[in-house]
Structure 1
Amino acid sequence: MTDLVIRPLVAGEEPLFDSMPDPLPQLRQVAYADGIAGGGYRPETTWVALRAGRVVGRAAWLLPPGAVGAPWLDRFDLDAEPEVGAALLRAAHEALDGPGLYYAAMPAHWRRRPEVLAVMEAPMAAARLAGLVERGERLRCSWTGTPLPATSGRYAFRPAAGPTEINALVARIAEPDVLTGAEIARAVGGVDLATDPLAWLPGSAGDWRVAEAAGEPVGLVGTAGDACYPLVVYLGLLDEAVRGELLAEAVRMLADGGAREVIADVDAHRVAVLAELERTGFRQLRTRVVFAPATEGPSVAEGTPASTDQQG
């Protein structure tokens, strides 16, 4: 690697990042130039590896303006051996006060797609060589107008009475099914979306629905119609049997407000939740494998930055 140059960009060099062809053009993400314009990407937190003046590795850390957390590695592409990528990451980590989270974004069903595996094998191997370990996987799913399942009539749905009721129900739900944008909530606002969603979703109680059976609450869902995309932000259950109908109620509420697409994030290991999303008409858009420094515990995978769009 004697001919290798590894360094951060300097102001005005932003086009150098885009001189490397996008290896996964089918992955929906914000262009680097737009990220620079929005302030989430910055030249000093963007690093490149060059051979003979050609970019063979690039890494961009993201931190939206006003965020309280540390930047995370949001874009990492490699057209070289993993050792080059590891050298790039180590140099950047040293300059950025140590390693942080890396969200390896890929199209959906990546394990069954040889063309995606061929692209991601080197950067993921480089991350491991640089001391990062896998801590989980998050799936982003999208509903785009598929007819919703009919309701059984077993449940009633009503707007939440207010913050007190929402917080009381959240406190009873140990592990929410859906947490969309949890990564951004944690990194930007320092908020744990699973335990304090109202700190991140400060809309009206009308954005929340309570599911009841025989007059007793059995589930809670919170939505956001005016975020980066219409979102099912929070879905938590006191009775798993209500999952499908409460999810459909959330989508119906957003669609009635004009949404043509609804986004929901789920941990890949939540097989039953994913199956219900698919029955409701959601389809997987992308996956994000979470890497973290080896010294950090597995909790960092909970709420992984929601997206390369710097919001969702």
Structure 2
Amino acid sequence: MTELVIRPLVAGEESLFDSMPDPLPQLRQVGYADGIAGGGYRPEHTWVALRAGRVIGRAAWLLPPGAVGAPWLERFDLAAEPEVGAALLRAAHEALGGPQRYYAAVPAHWRRRPEVLAVVKAPMAAARLVGLVERGERLRCSWTGTPLPTTAGRYTFRPATDTAEINAMVARISEPDILTGKEIALAVGGVDLATDPLAWLNSPAGDWRIGIHAGKPVGLVGTAGDACYPLIAYLGLFDEAVRGELLAEAVRALAAGGAREVLADVDAHRVVVLAELERTGFRQLRSRVIFEPAASTPSGSGVTHG
């Protein structure tokens, strides 16, 4: 069998990475060449597995300029058996100082789509072979102009008074419903979006909306209209009954500001929140399966590293 060579890219080899056909072209993601130009992808953080000069596996770790955390595995494609992918990851982990998080992006409803399962089975198996452990799944949903449901009018809404009011309410909410981009906030800024959203979001306090019932706050939502895409960054509740109306209020405010699409991320196990998003007109765009390093990682591959 032709010898397998595993090595990092060198500057100028962007076309080698892209020579492997994209197995999931329906996913919305930054192209590798664009990521190199923006500084998030780097040749030394990008590894390939080659057989007879052809790329049969590729992995790119992402670390945006100015990020305070470690790079995470953003792109991992494999046209070979899982053991090849595992050898690729082991070699890269050794150079990177140890295993890193892997955010496996997959199309929406991927578990019910045999053609997608056929693509993601090998890289996910490779991740498990090197000791990465699945720690959850995050769904990205998108609203694109669907008419909003009518509301009962039980609640009123007002802008947040100031950052102190926002922080005081956030401190009382142990598990927010929606945290959009929380992985990026943690990896890039070292910020826990659940407990300190204002450290990451630069929108003014007036962009936060507070739901009121019987004169008392029952929930708040923080939006960002000037991010990569308009999004619902944070949604936290004291009364679950306000969820639907507060979601609709947030989308309505963003749409009034010109948004044609609004994004929201939710943990896959939060089925009630997901159902309310869908009732508001959101549809699933993609999933992100989160793999994290376990306490120990298998070693040894018997493969030549170029």
Q: TM-score, normalised by structure 1?
A: 0.94
User: How far apart are residue 202 of structure 1 and its match?
Assistant: 2.4
- Are 2:78 and 1:73 equivalent residues in the alignment? no
User: How far apart are residue 191 of structure 1 and its match?
Assistant: 0.5
CA separation in 2, counterparts of 1:14 and 1:32? 7
RMSD over aligned CA atoms reads: 0.9
Is the 2:2–2:51 Cα contact (8 Å) retained in structure 1? no
Percent of aligned positions that are identical: 84
- Are 2:275 and 1:255 equivalent residues in the alignment? no
User: How far apart are residue 102 of structure 1 and its match?
Assistant: 0.1
User: How far apart are residue 2 of structure 1 and its match?
Assistant: 6.3
Deviations 1:42-62 (A, max 9, x none): 000000000000000000000
Is the 2:203–2:223 Cα contact (8 Å) retained in structure 1? no
Equivalent residue, structure 1, for 2:95: 95
CA separation in 2, counterparts of 1:153 and 1:109? 34
Deviations 1:219-269 (A, max 9, x none): 000000010000000000000000000000000000000000000000000
Equivalent residue, structure 1, for 2:19: 19
CA separation in 2, counterparts of 1:6 and 1:154? 61
Amino acid at match of 2:103: Y
Amino acid at match of 1:54: R
Give secondary structure in 2 for the equivalent of 1:42.
strand
User: How far apart are residue 38 of structure 1 and its match?
Assistant: 0.6
Task: Trace 1:151-300 onto structure 2 (pairs within 5 A).
Answer: 151-295=151-295
CA separation in 2, counterparts of 1:86 and 1:208? 45
CA separation in 1, counterparts of 2:150 and 2:112? 33
User: How far apart are residue 96 of structure 1 and its match?
Assistant: 0.2
Equivalent residue, structure 2, for 1:301: none
Give secondary structure in 2 for the equivalent of 1:67.
coil
User: How far apart are residue 110 of structure 1 and its match?
Assistant: 0.2
CA separation in 2, counterparts of 1:290 and 1:51? 29
Amino acid at match of 1:38: G
Equivalent residue, structure 1, for 2:299: none
CA separation in 1, counterparts of 2:104 and 2:185? 19
Which segments of structure 1 move beyond 3 Å, counting only runs of 4 or more?
none
Amino acid at match of 2:18: D
CA separation in 2, counterparts of 1:261 and 1:203? 18
CA separation in 1, counterparts of 2:191 and 2:207? 19
The count of residues paired between Structure 1 and Structure 2 equals 296
CA separation in 2, counterparts of 1:23 and 1:202? 36
User: How far apart are residue 157 of structure 1 and its match?
Assistant: 0.2
Is the 2:86–2:127 Cα contact (8 Å) retained in structure 1? yes
Amino acid at match of 1:25: P
Q: TM-score, normalised by structure 2?
A: 0.96
Deviations 1:102-132 (A, max 9, x none): 0110000000000000000000000000110
Equivalent residue, structure 2, for 1:34: 34
Query: 5+ residue gaps in structure 1?
Result: 297-312
Is the 2:86–2:126 Cα contact (8 Å) retained in structure 1? yes
Give secondary structure in 1 for the equivalent of 2:263.
strand
Amino acid at match of 1:162: D
CA separation in 2, counterparts of 1:59 and 1:207? 38
